[in-house]
Structure 1
Amino acid sequence: MTASTRARTSPAPATPHDPAGSTARGALWLATNGVVVKAAHTVVLLTLAALLTPSALGLVALGSLVANVAAILGTLGTASALVHLEGSTQRVERAARTALSLGLVTSSALAALLWATAPLLASSLRADDGGAAVIRGLTVVLPCLAVAGVTTELLRRRLAFARRIVPDTVSAVVGAVVAIALVIQGVGVMALVAGQVTQAVLMMLLAWVVHRPVLPGWDRADARALVSFGAPFSGAHLLEVVQLNLDYLLVARVLGALALGHYSLSYRIANMPYLMVAVVVTGAAFPYLCRARGADRARAAEVALGVTFSLMLPACLLLALLADDLVLLGAEWAPATPVLALLAGYALLLALLQVCLTVLNAAGRPGVAMAVRLVHLLVLGLTLLVVVDRGIVSVALAQVVVVAAVALPALALARRAVPGTSAARLGADVRPALVASVAMALAVLALRGLDPVAGGGVVALGATTLVAVLVFLIVLRAVGADAWRAVLELLRRREVLA
């Protein structure tokens, strides 16, 4: 074994720059970012739901779908490949210039194509009334996102999460303020477009503030290395976006914009814990998992699953228990309440699947991760084609069944890719959260059974939520004292938080 190999595989002494400690602090920084960004998006979403019709919200969902797919295709995954790329700092900086060139060319070409074909896309998605303008507005900023993506991924590679979140957090808040101000003035769905454009441009500018601008460049070897990892990585991400939005497409085509509005509101709310927990955990864990080896990587994978489950379970359970309060936005949202309860369970399973696929990517198996995404997409597509005409509740139930069927094999593949993981250790990690979640659910059911609380409006909803959170934390602290202390000590010691 060479000295360089030993340096990569041997445990490093605990220092202020210890990667595990940096990953732990990075998770906290990303969690802060996730809370702020999703809070901003939530306020915008609820404002739109309160002031616009369900069909208008469905139009927003379709435009966002096109924009999300285009953002992935616009970079070919080359920015994310910088996190996994091996080599010296000089090589990574050189590769970043190549990634920027690729991203600028492909995203600009794609933005031009979508501008020209927006009317056709809007018509095919049954969004003729304003759909083309929404698509054009949400995709014209693709080059800005490509530029910002290279910088933010470089910062993630270096575990510089404190600087990494600045462009995301500040731009999301400013974009939300712009969108809310315009929608209150009666601008309609284009208010969201204006907010998203503001967010994308500001994100690019702030990325240049927290990190010196990356200039375009080209190296053929770097391009091959980036695309060889980025293409399947991006392919898996694209399949994920299509899989996450296939229900939108089918509901829009078969059931119409009104049903899509009901479904999309429930989906967006249920998806918030996933974005605030699973995306945060895997985002912080991925650069560490790429470099960890042996027992370190196995333990990181276990903790990633344990932390994700322990945070997702109470959040999703609370959403399901309080789903009926969706009618506080207006009686017209009543059809969305059973959908929200089902999709809360779907979000929990989807988060666990996301961790498994992140482990596969970090272990150098992006092709396997993409294959899992493809299977998920195909099975879901076939299932939805059978049930979509039965209504949005059937669509939500199909989501739960299919993701459960895919998550179990994905877990087995992740364990095979990272030998040494322990089901017993994982069970010990999640046991306190299970007990605390049961206690929380009993407390909520008891409160909902009291006439002054149940159906009592926004104040009662807030009080119930507060009691639920307090009960969960108190019981978690009582039954999981050791785990609680370990998480706090993780910020100072060489342990793994993934």
Structure 2
Amino acid sequence: MSSITGRLVKGSMWLSLSRAIVNGLATLSTFVLAWYLTPADFGLVALATTMLLIVDTVTQISLSEALIRHKAPDESHFSAAWTLNASRGLLLGLLFAGFAYPAALLFNEPRLTGVMLALGASILLGGLINPRRIMLQRDLIFWQEFVLSVSQKLTGFVAAVAIAMIYHSYWALVIGTLVSQATNVVVSYMVLPFRPRITFQHMKEFFSFSAWLTAGQIVNTLNWRFDYLLVGKMLGGSALGYYSLGSNLAMMPTREATMPLTQTIYPGFASIRHDPARLAAAYQRVQALVAAIALPAGIGVAVIADPLVRLTLGEKWAPVIFIIQALASVFALQTLGSLVQPLGMAKGETRLLFIRDTQMLLVRVPVMVIGLIMAGLPGVIIGRVFTGLFSALVNMILVRRFIGVSVSKQLWANVRALASIALMAAGVAVASHYLDYTTDKVELAKQLAILVSLGGFLYCASTFLLWILMGRPEGPETEIQKILGKIYSKVRPA
């Protein structure tokens, strides 16, 4: 386990650097595009990308997960995976392009035709990606993944920002996506050379693992994306633009803070799936560490959303403040059970994951529809808060079934983080009340710096104090100490 832990830490270091760069570019891109584009522009592209995600997921085969779990995949497995992906990309791209005009009529948006034709090309490009790149994750090698992620994001960022600044057009969002996808394909073969050949071997082997996982992905995508179609159809492009950007910004802090760890978890869990005791212990340690990072990131952004949005996006985006405040908190709290997905995949319990996703869809659809009918966009947000908290509970119950750790033990492992985050949120909220309302950018920046510093101090100080008072138990604090120690040992010789 020590060698696996060391490789996970090393991988997390590479991914941390990668995500820091990618996250910085993504955040900067969002702010720049928000200044030059309108909410309706964001809504238009969000509508097209939502349909793309749904169509893409319905036909997804989960080949990456199958290759990771395979004991010894050879060149024939990679060629078979490439053949399946390329064939699927070609057919799906043509299908998506053919549906472009009917979709434009359905949503009464003529511009949707061109956007969907362009995104159809991105599906084709996606099918050509080198399947061997997934072995980097399987073998816990992440420096090449760093090159892939950074190059992809950097080229897309330059293309999108340049077009937005010159033309002030929604095509900035579309072309940025196309350039990123093309870069991903090219660089994937540069960092890991591979010459594919067309073969349809191993089809039964792939589908036997992927069947339930693919079905779960279909339901999960419908579960988390149908509301975009609902808002776009019922409330219009501007409302969808606010909803799309607000949701993305709300998800960003939790996702980016935890990605370096969560991206290494599935291969790590899969490597010890036959040892129940080690798997349960590994899950508890990693989940507590992820929550300790995600909670201050997500809820911290929620409590500073007002000055943050007005400083970085401008007053025209003020409606997204409530969206960020509500959803960022929920996304952070969902990390209390979100690692059930890689845990279930590692144990081969994909059928149970599918059942969970189906149950959540049956709960979420009526709640969201009722919320929309009763209160419009705020009703949709409230519905997402309720279903998000409910899904966190369901996930924790499923974890108990997989590894025998009770819900109360899962919560107790996070008690210091939960108590500290409550104190942090209360302290920042009180401080915000005493700050004068202003539209001056310099004053907003000062207020934001004060609130961020206060929140960071309250969370870190209270967490450390509680850890001392509880007798320095094993938990996120000791894991962070180990990680920092390993990092120090790496850089000390230099």
Q: Normalising TM by the smaller chain, what interval?
A: 0.7 to 0.9
Q: 1:149 to 1:448 in 2, by over 3 A?
A: farther
Q: Tell me the TM-score normalized by structure 1.
A: 0.87
Alignment partner of 1:317 out of 293, 299, 313:
299
Task: Describe the shift of the 1:428–1:340 C-alpha distance in structure 2 as closer, same or farther (beyond 3 A).
Answer: same
Q: CA deviation at 1:263?
A: 1.4
In structure 2, the residue matched to 1:240 is: 220
Q: Which residue of 1 aligns with 2:490?
A: none
Question: What do residues 454-496 of structure 1 show as CA deviations (whole Å, max 9, x unaligned)?
Answer: 7642342244224423443344445447543433425888xxx
2:447 corresponds to 1:460: yes
Higher RCO (CA-CA < 8 Å; seq separation 6+)? 1
CA shift, 1:430, in A, is 2.3
Are 2:192 and 1:192 aligned?
no
Asked whether 1:327 is paired with 2:310, we answer: yes
Contact 1:376–1:403 (8 Å) recurs in 2? no
1:262-295, Cα deviation, whole Å (9 max, x unpaired): 2112111111134224544332110111121211
**Which runs of 5 or more residues in structure 2 are unaligned?**
487-494
Within 5 A, what are the aligned runs for 1:156-167? 156-167=137-148
> 346, 356, 366: which one pairs with 1:362?
346
Which of 447, 451, 472 in structure 1 is aligned with 2:459?
472
Q: Against the structure 1 CA distance between its residues 279 and 132, is the aligned structure 2 distance closer, same or farther, given a 3 Å change threshold?
A: farther
1:39 aligned to 14, 24, 28, which one?
Answer: 24
| Alignment CA distance shift 1:309-1:79 (3 Å) | same
What is aligned with 1:484?
A: 477
- Residue identity over aligned pairs, in percent, reads 22
Quick one: which amino acid aligns to residue 323 of structure 1?
A: A
Match of 2:204, as an amino acid? R
For residue 214 of structure 1, report the CA deviation from its aligned partner: 4.8
Taking a change above 3 Å as real, the CA distance of residues 92 and 351 of structure 1, as seen in their structure-2 partners, is farther
CA–CA distance in 2 between the matches of 1:218 and 1:274?
Answer: 40
**Distance apart, 1:156 and its partner CA:** 0.8
Q: Tell me if 1:347 matches 2:331.
A: yes
For residues 346-365 of structure 1, the C-alpha deviation after alignment (integer angstroms, 9 at most, x for no partner) is 21244344312221111101
Query: Closer, same or farther in 2 for the Cα pair 1:79/1:451, shift >3 Å?
Result: closer
CA distance in 2: counterparts of 1:300 and 1:217, whole angstroms: 40
1:100 matches 2:82: yes
- Residue 210 of structure 2 is matched in structure 1 by 230
d(CA) in 2 for partners of 1:435 and 1:177?
Answer: 42
The residue type paired with residue 103 of structure 2 is L
Gaps of at least 5 residues in structure 1 are 1-11, 494-498
More displaced, 163-172 or 319-328?
Answer: 319-328
Distance 1:427 1:411 in 2: 9
Residue identity matched to 1:415: R
CA spacing shift, 1:92–1:447, aligned 2, 3 Å: farther
Residue of structure 2 equivalent to 1:54: 39
**CA RMSD across the alignment:** 2.5
Report the Cα offset of residue 23 of structure 1. Answer: 1.9
Question: Which range is displaced more, 462-471 or 282-291?
Answer: 462-471
Q: 1:75: how far off?
A: 4.4
Aligned-partner residue type, residue 257 of structure 1: G
Post-superposition offset of 1:149: 6.0
Q: Which residue of 1 aligns with 2:236?
A: 256
Shift of 1:426: 4.2
Mapped contact 2:12–2:260 kept (Cα < 8 A) = yes
TM-superposed deviation, 1:230: 2.2
Once residues 481 and 128 of structure 2 are traced to their aligned partners in structure 1, the CA distance between those partners, rounded to angstroms, is 36
Contact 1:432 1:480 in 2 (8 A): yes
Number of residue-to-residue matches in the alignment: 472
What amino acid does structure 1 have at the position aligned with 2:192? H
